[in-house]
Structure 1
Amino acid sequence: MIIPHERLDKETLYNLIESYVLREGTDYGEQEFSIESKVAQVHQQLKNGEAMVFFSELHESVTIISKAEFIALQADPEYQASFND
């Protein structure tokens, strides 16, 4: 289930984004970015619709996923089966 990021408390949204950024791991590019910079980038992706806050009823967890990940998830038979149980 998609949760509109605008409906989340600002501190809750920041903590969710920060947790997501910290899980993403190490930068392998030429330039490293600060946590604050990464949080700002993800927040912008949420605003642009490139990413979304997703609550998994199957896993009872919330995370941030890309639009492409969400589309792929919808095509996953296991995900679809979780709605039919």
Structure 2
Amino acid sequence: MSASHYHICSRNIGKPVEIRTRDGRVHRGIIHRVDNRMVYLRPLPQRNYGGYGYGWGWWCGFGWGVALGAIVGLALLPWFFW
């Protein structure tokens, strides 16, 4: 199963996803990179509903990895979701 998750993730780099793992956790983010063991996600951009801000913000290297073998479900999210 992780081979199919690898191919799905590698084809959708740069797109927002929701990943459910075997332990019940839900991870939402943008696929940054994929290797043979992990999917690396960036946080979703936060909207600024008032005050001072610079639009969608920027990413400075913070993110997290999810093991391919732990993935139970993977769903692509539409951009208007958040």
Q: Same fold (TM over 0.5)?
A: no
* TM-score, normalising length: structure 2: 0.28
* TM-score, normalising length: structure 1: 0.27
Bigger fraction of residues in helix: 1
* Relative contact order, higher structure (CA 8 A, sep 6+): 2
Q: Which has the larger radius of gyration?
A: 1
Bigger fraction of residues in strand: 2
